[in-house]
Structure 1
Amino acid sequence: MKKILFIFIVALFANACTDGFEEANVNPYEITDESLTQDFNHIGSFYPTLLANIFGHQVEENLVSESYCDYMATPTPFVSGVNNTTYYITWNTYWNRIYNNLMSPASQVIDIAQEGGYDVFVAWAKLIRILGVSRLTTYHGPVIYSTYGSEDVSYDSEEVLYNAFFDDLDDIQAVFAANSDYEGLTRFDASYAGDVASWAKVVNSMRLRLAIRISNVAPDLAQTEGEKAIADAAGLITSNDDNFNISLYGSDLYLSVICFSWGDTRMSAGMESFLVGLKDPRIAAYFEPATTAESVYADHPDFPYKGIRNGAQLTAKADHSDYSTINESFQSVTERPYLTASEVYFDLAEASLRGWTGAGDAGSNYDAGVRASFSQWGVGGADDYLADATSTPIDYDDAVYSGSINDFVSRSTVTVAWDETATNEEKLEKIITQKWIAGFTNPNEPWADFRRTGYPKLPLVYKNDSNSDWGVIPDDEWIKRMPFLDSERSDSPELISAAVATMKGDDLISTRLWFDTGSGSNF
């Protein structure tokens, strides 16, 4: 009897000890699937990485688009002075960043969001894909977009690609319009704190950017899409408060690292020519005075800045290291502009020249773009600057080397003040020149603008090392594109062959992209 009672008591205690076992043994600090879903973390945690990889770094951007649009130049004679900057392709990796770090994870998050019915997150990821791939196509031309992730992958021709962008922007904007009060993005959106209405303005402003980009090659499509962007009820980015800036997520600005930590980039001679010649007060916001001898900038002592010619003949890094760095304030910035009010106003000014409905007055938009840029960079004096009808870009002298090495005579005689009696071509040169100046630190669109319009009238590279390996650039011309990656050429020769068949020439740096008509006239 005692034995039976003992067994009963043990069983009773055993049941008591295991009652609620699952609850008792759950770690209260563990992130559960349920909590992830409630806070949108299972989706939203992807987005900072996606956004952070839209831009490139030294070999993806500084030594490609930033050099080719003449914002910055290197004092360093990389690879014995024969490299990207002298038109011999040495680095070509932006493709990998976009596909490995943006397109691939974006596809994953789209699948997760679609499965859970999170339509706004799906639209946001699709927009970010356009933000990245629309930059990549300005490097190569045809890229993989509409078939990405499918079993039958192919390169989109540029014409197909831009139509796909516009169609996807339609879908994205429809989702944003139907969910204007959605709050799910808030914790993951460092740009707009989850404000869907602000992202809707980004959609319209991107549509306008892409429409302007193809305005020479596909004028009817460009006008249709541009007018759609202008007329959409969500509006455009027309205030610096609405600027689309991408957080650096705790990292240093790429340009600050290259300039101050590595000493591999300095002000370009093109920037010196235009900013000094036009007496542009933004020069002090962009750059630091040179620390070299005053004789180096003796031709403009009131503007003690000095740049390096792109594609320069360089002997030693130290020769030009005391030329102008970027402004020291860039060492503490926490975000980087992608699309700003100044760009939108300049796009509207060009749209007006092209007769697009709703674009407004070209001169008024031009002035508004300059003023927005001055305000964005915290610079005064816009009234006097806009009234200057006489100052023009200056010639350049590289005082480090004797004779005419690296020197150039300015190709541009553009002035700042708007002239209503000028031709449309002359007006466009003013617009694109100011758009170029305003876009500093964001070189992708200025490089595209330069190729499609010929403006601003930038200097040629001094040292042209192009050859049959990558394509020959004539001495009176500029690089047109980046070649496809060697890995793509070797791994997917049939795809590359099909892509090249849609282009204006072979897979060479001399082949113009679709939007670059090379006609010599923009109207």
Structure 2
Amino acid sequence: MKKIIYIFLAALLLNISACTDNFEGLNENPYQITDESLKQDFNNVGAFYPPMLKNLFGHQIEHNLAHDSWVRHLATPTPFVGGINNTTYYIRWNTYWDRIYGEIMSPSSQVMKVAESEGYPVFVEWAKLIRILGMHRLTAYHGPVIFTKFGQEPALYDSEPTLYNAFFTQLDEIQAVFNANMDYTGLAKFDASYKGNIAQWNKLVNSLRLRLAIRLSKVDPALAKAQGEKAMSEPGGLIETNGDNFMVSLYGDVFPPVTISFGWGDTRMSATMESILIGYDDPRISKFFDPATDASLYPDHPNYPYKGIRNGALLVAKGDRLDYSNISSDFKEVTNRRFFTAAEVQFLKAEAALRGWAGTDTAQEHYEAGVNLSFEDWGAGGAATYLANNTGTPIDYDDPKASGDINDFVSRITATVAWDDTADNEAKLEKIITQKWIDGYTNSIEAWVDHRRTGYPKLPYNYKNDSNADWGVIPADDFLRRLVFVNSQRENNAAAVAEATGFLGGPDEIGTRLWWDTGGPNF
């Protein structure tokens, strides 16, 4: 009997031991995300990318009440802060810095470390490219920024020459990895823009290089020419068709200007858009804007039922101009937004041709190709008739809700649309940049760069200019040139800000020109 009991106890202990050995597996939650499951299909790195891409764009105070207004694409009917704010050259909001560093630079540092440790070089270079996509926009606001020394203590700024050389060097590194991995498919699950197609990302690299080269064409002609010609000679090519356009997904969100315009009533068509689009009989106007809701607002152009607000206008009450033209209702249905288009590439190549860079056709061919691509991209017809218009010029503006000449302006633009090969390069460049400005609607940072860099289009000045010694004074016949360094940096990184101010070559004020904004003739 005892023998039977011993055998039973031994068997029981063996069974308990076996159960204990498998205890962890038996008690594992099959629905829990583990480190190993995250590594499947690159989830442990890929999840970082959609939020970074989404944050390349800002929203109301970063874009709409900033360069959307400064470059005269959209205007506000709302007299924010007593009518004294960014749009009237008194700085109230300066937050794009926080978005770029908090939502792109910081997470990209983390994902690059993970991707490097896991042996995912394409993910590393993709993160580096997204960094440049964000930082080349941020430097357009401030000039010197923290890039090559990001994450170090102290956090030192790069001068603009150092920064742009770093951009070009890193684009070389990115392209080398992309070229060696053309068949790589690991990005596809996380890439709403190009579905993981490395060849398409390579076209963006080349196009971005050309954009940066043109940006530097006046301040460093030799570097600009070398980089521009490199961009145009790369076998991978540029963004040449609208199917190649770099579109950033909204990831299920509403297009932000829709909320600002239809939801809050804080943005409307600008008076400059009214002046230029109507003066040029531009069919894209109906793709950009809805008609005004009050037919009495446009007696001077009854065939074009649109009305805009002057930027820097004297505003009394928000309700006064809510019946002016809203952005197009079609934007309520969009699922992504333009970041880099084939039309822009053609306008870049048109300017490169004027500057004598190798790799181009004639400036006229690229100019007209840019207009045609823009019409196609926006779904407008009549490009051939538009390009033949050699008489129409932008119209003068009258604000019917203000008395006398308050908020009115006389257009400074005398250029027509039709190409004139007998004109000098300044006149040709004005046509190119004016059309590039129109096409850049909803993506206005580069239009703001071009306006400061070239002086084109010849935009109206602010009616109301509240600049003062707090942030710097803008003359009545000039434009805001930059944003000051952010207060958190002034307070917590003062020595680095002082050094960065030295890089500017002028005070940390809104009237100080950036490195590439040289002033003077373009040729």
TM over 0.5: yes
Deviation track 1:64-87 (CA, whole Å, cap 9, x = no partner) reads 111111000000000000000000
Matches within 5 A, 1:25-424: 25-292=27-294, 294-424=295-425
Write the distance in 1 (CA, Å) between the matches of 2:131 and 2:408. 41
Write the distance in 1 (CA, Å) between the matches of 2:160 and 2:20. 66
Write the distance in 2 (CA, Å) between the matches of 1:440 and 1:381. 19
Please state whether the residue corresponding to 1:471 is helix, strand or coil.
coil
Write the distance in 2 (CA, Å) between the matches of 1:228 and 1:517. 24
Write the distance in 2 (CA, Å) between the matches of 1:437 and 1:303. 17
Write the distance in 2 (CA, Å) between the matches of 1:233 and 1:168. 18
Write the distance in 1 (CA, Å) between the matches of 2:239 and 2:488. 39
Deviation track 1:179-217 (CA, whole Å, cap 9, x = no partner) reads 011000000000000000000000000000000011111
Write the distance in 1 (CA, Å) between the matches of 2:40 and 2:364. 50
Write the distance in 2 (CA, Å) between the matches of 1:17 and 1:118. 39
Aligned partners of 2:88 and 2:462 also within 8 Å: yes
Please state whether the residue corresponding to 2:338 is helix, strand or coil.
strand
What's the TM-score, normalizing by structure 1? 0.98
Deviation track 1:309-351 (CA, whole Å, cap 9, x = no partner) reads 0000000000000000000011111101100000000000000
Amino acid at match of 1:448: V
Matches within 5 A, 1:505-516: 505-516=506-517
Amino acid at match of 2:449: A
Please state whether the residue corresponding to 1:129 is helix, strand or coil.
helix
Write the distance in 1 (CA, Å) between the matches of 2:426 and 2:197. 39
**Which residue in the other structure is 1:430 paired with?**
431
Aligned partners of 2:74 and 2:270 also within 8 Å: yes
Deviation track 1:243-280 (CA, whole Å, cap 9, x = no partner) reads 00000111111111100111000000010000011000
The alpha-carbon deviation at position 360 of structure 1 amounts to: 1.5
The alpha-carbon deviation at position 112 of structure 1 amounts to: 0.7
Write the distance in 2 (CA, Å) between the matches of 1:112 and 1:6. 53
Write the distance in 2 (CA, Å) between the matches of 1:462 and 1:381. 34
Amino acid at match of 2:127: A
Write the distance in 1 (CA, Å) between the matches of 2:446 and 2:335. 22
Matches within 5 A, 1:457-468: 457-468=458-469
The alpha-carbon deviation at position 3 of structure 1 amounts to: 4.1
Write the distance in 2 (CA, Å) between the matches of 1:4 and 1:193. 66
Write the distance in 1 (CA, Å) between the matches of 2:17 and 2:497. 69
Deviation track 1:482-507 (CA, whole Å, cap 9, x = no partner) reads 01111111111110110011113100
Please state whether the residue corresponding to 1:39 is helix, strand or coil.
helix
Write the distance in 2 (CA, Å) between the matches of 1:515 and 1:10. 82
Write the distance in 2 (CA, Å) between the matches of 1:41 and 1:348. 39
Please state whether the residue corresponding to 1:26 is helix, strand or coil.
coil
Unaligned stretches of 5+ in structure 1? none
Write the distance in 1 (CA, Å) between the matches of 2:107 and 2:18. 48
Aligned partners of 2:155 and 2:493 also within 8 Å: no
Amino acid at match of 1:323: Y
Amino acid at match of 2:417: V
**Which residue in the other structure is 2:9 paired with?**
7
Please state whether the residue corresponding to 1:338 is helix, strand or coil.
strand
Aligned partners of 2:183 and 2:198 also within 8 Å: yes
Write the distance in 2 (CA, Å) between the matches of 1:97 and 1:15. 55
- Tell me how large the CA RMSD over aligned residues is: 1.0
Unaligned stretches of 5+ in structure 2? none
Please state whether the residue corresponding to 1:502 is helix, strand or coil.
helix
Write the distance in 1 (CA, Å) between the matches of 2:506 and 2:61. 25
The alpha-carbon deviation at position 19 of structure 1 amounts to: 5.4
Write the distance in 1 (CA, Å) between the matches of 2:12 and 2:282. 89
Range 425-434 or range 19-28, more displaced:
19-28
**Which residue in the other structure is 1:522 paired with?**
522
Write the distance in 1 (CA, Å) between the matches of 2:163 and 2:55. 21
Write the distance in 2 (CA, Å) between the matches of 1:173 and 1:9. 65
**Which residue in the other structure is 1:500 paired with?**
501
Moved segments of 4+, more than 6 Å: none
Amino acid at match of 1:497: A
Amino acid at match of 1:469: D
Range 2-11 or range 448-457, more displaced:
2-11
The alpha-carbon deviation at position 437 of structure 1 amounts to: 0.2
Amino acid at match of 2:392: S
Deviation track 1:369-414 (CA, whole Å, cap 9, x = no partner) reads 0000000011110010000000000000000111111000000011
Please state whether the residue corresponding to 1:392 is helix, strand or coil.
coil
Write the distance in 1 (CA, Å) between the matches of 2:16 and 2:493. 65
Write the distance in 2 (CA, Å) between the matches of 1:63 and 1:284. 23
The alpha-carbon deviation at position 12 of structure 1 amounts to: 3.6
Please state whether the residue corresponding to 2:339 is helix, strand or coil.
strand
